[in-house]
């Protein structure tokens, strides 16, 4: 079939789909008439098929891009939940959207974790063999002399002003998270650099404290808040890699559409992590440095880890009856 004939035979359906999408910009899916909802689902499926045909047979990139954008818009409108207001929208985001996005993008988070872990191991082993290796991991030699060489438990100073320390920790953690995300704009390389440098520096610090004889105390300090804090850093790294891969590997989408879709997912991940980092900062400011049993701190780590990953892996799995009804009507 020639390109012109293909367009002439189907452009009426495409225009009708555009008209329905314009209508949906002014109202929710549930307010359409039953026949309009059925028509929307029918034309959406047909346009999706047209897109597949155009990709396989057409040499007109403008046609493919047009149909691709139209299908993306229609998919978003059909599967987007009824608009919610205020607290309902926030509740829906945290009970469904955020954990679902985490599960869809887990491979990017896993890659960020892998870089962090590899450089953590390199920083730890290198510094364990030679303390000066920590300089390559980004640690200031003066800091090493004033803290680990002097066997100073620097984290215990948080007990002198927990509120101030907790606020400073929250700010720093959120800043690191945004760096990991924002540097994804450098084709993802910037995010991998942030993961690598943070992993190497943390590994070097842990090795220095073990060389000084109090590494187990630092690990106990890190345990309570570390599960939440590090998970958020990895998720932020995954968000940065989403942006980077959208630029390098857009797949069947145009780079603009890939950046728009993956960028939206990346922002959801970042927003979802902010309250988690606030919680991690509270734990780090008030529980982690406290002169209490390490067993209690490890217990906090186990409890927060179980709660966090139960939430991330299970929340939002069950589709609500309302959304099932809307989807079945549309399709």
> What pLDDT digit, counting tens, does each position of 260-288 carry?
888 889 999 999 999 999 899 889 888 99
Instruction: Considering only the C-alpha atoms of the chain, give the largest distance between any 2 of them, rounded to a whole number of Å.
Output: 81
User: Could you give the number of structural domains in the chain?
Assistant: 2
Cα–Cα distance measured from residue 55 to residue 51, given in angstroms and rounded to the nearest whole number: 6
* CA angle 105–107–109, rounded 5-degree value: 75
3-class SS of residue 95: helix
Q: Which candidate, 79, 127, 125, 97, places its Cα nearest to that of 271?
A: 97
Rounded CA gap, 123 and 129, in Å?
Answer: 10
Asked if 104 and 42 sit in the same domain, the reply is no
Q: What is the mean pLDDT of residues 198-227?
A: 95
| 250: in domain | yes
Picking from 309, 260, 326, the residue whose alpha carbon sits closest to that of residue 102 is 309
**Residue 147: per-residue pLDDT:** 93
The whole domain housing 152 covers: 91-314
Instruction: Judge if 139 and 245 occupy the same domain.
Output: yes
Q: Pick the most confident of 87-101, 179-193, 302-316.
A: 302-316
More confident residue, 214 or 258: 214
Residue 142: predicted pLDDT: 93
Same domain, 63 and 162: no
One domain, residues 9 and 144: no
Q: What is the DSSP letter of 183?
A: G
For residue 267, being part of any structural domain is answered with yes
> pLDDT grade, residue 163 (50/70/90)?
low
- Looking at residue 289, the DSSP 8-state letter turns out to be T
Residue 330 within a domain: no
Same domain assignment for residues 198 and 239: yes
* Crossing angle of helices 61-79 and 34-57, rounded to 10°: 150
Which pLDDT does position 63 carry in this prediction?
Answer: 85
Question: Which among 19, 50, 80 is the end of a domain?
Answer: 80
291 and 310 co-located in one domain: yes
Last residue of a domain, one of 47, 80, 113: 80
Residue with tokens 């980077």: 244
Whether residues 138 and 56 fall in one domain = no
Residue 284: CB partners within 8 Å, gap ≥ 6?
158, 166, 169, 224, 225, 229
- Helix intervals (H) in the chain: 3-26, 34-57, 61-79, 86-92, 98-104, 106-129, 133-136, 141-146, 162-182, 189-212, 215-248, 255-286, 294-314, 321-330
Average of per-residue pLDDT across 217-231: 94
pLDDT in tens, 59-112: 788 888 888 888 888 887 776 644 444 567 788 899 999 999 999 999 999 999
Query: Is residue 208, in this structure, part of any structural domain at all?
Result: yes
Compute CA distances 79 → 83, 93, 140, 313, 331, whole Å. 12, 15, 51, 21, 10
Q: Are 16 and 111 found together in one domain? A: no
Same domain, 95 and 71: no
**Angle of helix 215-248 versus helix 255-286 axis, rounded to 10:** 170
Structure tokens at 12: 């009426």
> Residue 165: its pLDDT value, please?
61
Indicate whether 321 belongs to any domain.
Answer: no
Give a yes or no: residue 98 inside a domain.
yes
- Give the model's pLDDT for residue 230: 94
Q: Is 174's pLDDT higher than 50?
A: yes
139 and 256 in a single domain? The answer is: yes
State residue 321's pLDDT score: 40
Identify whether residues 12 and 132 lie together within a single domain: no
pLDDT in tens, 239-265: 999 999 888 888 767 788 788 888 889
Above 80 in pLDDT, residue 193?
yes
> Is the residue at 63 inside a domain?
yes
Query: Is the domain of 76 the same as that of 120?
Result: no
pLDDT score of 231 more than 80 = yes
**Is residue 331, in this structure, part of any structural domain at all?**
no
Per mean pLDDT, which range of 94-108, 171-185, 269-283, 290-304 is the poorest?
Answer: 171-185
The Cα 24–Cα 33 span in angstroms is 12
Nearest CA among 8, 16, 67 for reference residue 39: 16
């Amino acid at each position: 079939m020639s390109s012109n004939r293909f367009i002439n035979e189907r452009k009426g359906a495409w225009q009708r789909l555009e008209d329905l999408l314009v209508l949906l910009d002014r109202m929710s899916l549930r307010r359409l008439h039953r026949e309009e909802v059925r028509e929307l689902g029918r034309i959406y499926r047909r346009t999706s098929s047209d897109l597949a045909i155009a990709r396989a047979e057409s040499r007109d990139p403008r046609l493919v891009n047009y149909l691709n954008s139209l299908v993306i818009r229609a998919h978003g409108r059909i599967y987007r939940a009824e608009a919610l207001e205020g607290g309902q929208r926030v509740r829906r985001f945290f009970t469904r959207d955020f954990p679902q996005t985490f599960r869809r993008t887990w491979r990017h988070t896993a890659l960020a974790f892998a870089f962090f872990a590899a450089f953590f191991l390199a920083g730890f082993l290198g510094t364990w063999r030679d303390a000066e290796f920590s300089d390559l991991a980004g640690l200031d030699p003066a800091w090493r002399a004033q803290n680990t060489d002097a066997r100073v438990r620097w984290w215990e100073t948080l007990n002198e002003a927990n509120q101030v320390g907790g606020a400073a920790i929250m700010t720093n953690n959120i800043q690191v998270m945004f760096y990991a995300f924002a540097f994804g704009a450098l084709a993802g390389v910037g995010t991998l650099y942030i993961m690598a440098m943070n992993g190497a520096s943390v590994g070097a610090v842990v090795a220095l404290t073990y060389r000084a004889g109090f590494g187990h105390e630092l690990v106990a300090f890190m345990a309570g808040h570390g599960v939440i804090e590090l998970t958020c850093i990895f998720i932020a790294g995954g968000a940065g890699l989403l942006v980077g891969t959208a630029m390098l590997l857009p797949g069947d989408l145009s780079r603009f559409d890939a950046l728009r879709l993956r960028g939206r997912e990346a922002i959801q991940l970042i927003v979802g992590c902010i309250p988690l980092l606030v919680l991690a900062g509270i734990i780090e400011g008030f529980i982690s440095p406290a002169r209490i049993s390490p067993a209690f701190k490890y217990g906090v780590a186990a409890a927060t880890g179980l709660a966090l990953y139960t939430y991330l892996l299970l929340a939002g799995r069950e589709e609500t009856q309302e959304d099932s009804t809307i989807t079945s009507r549309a399709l």
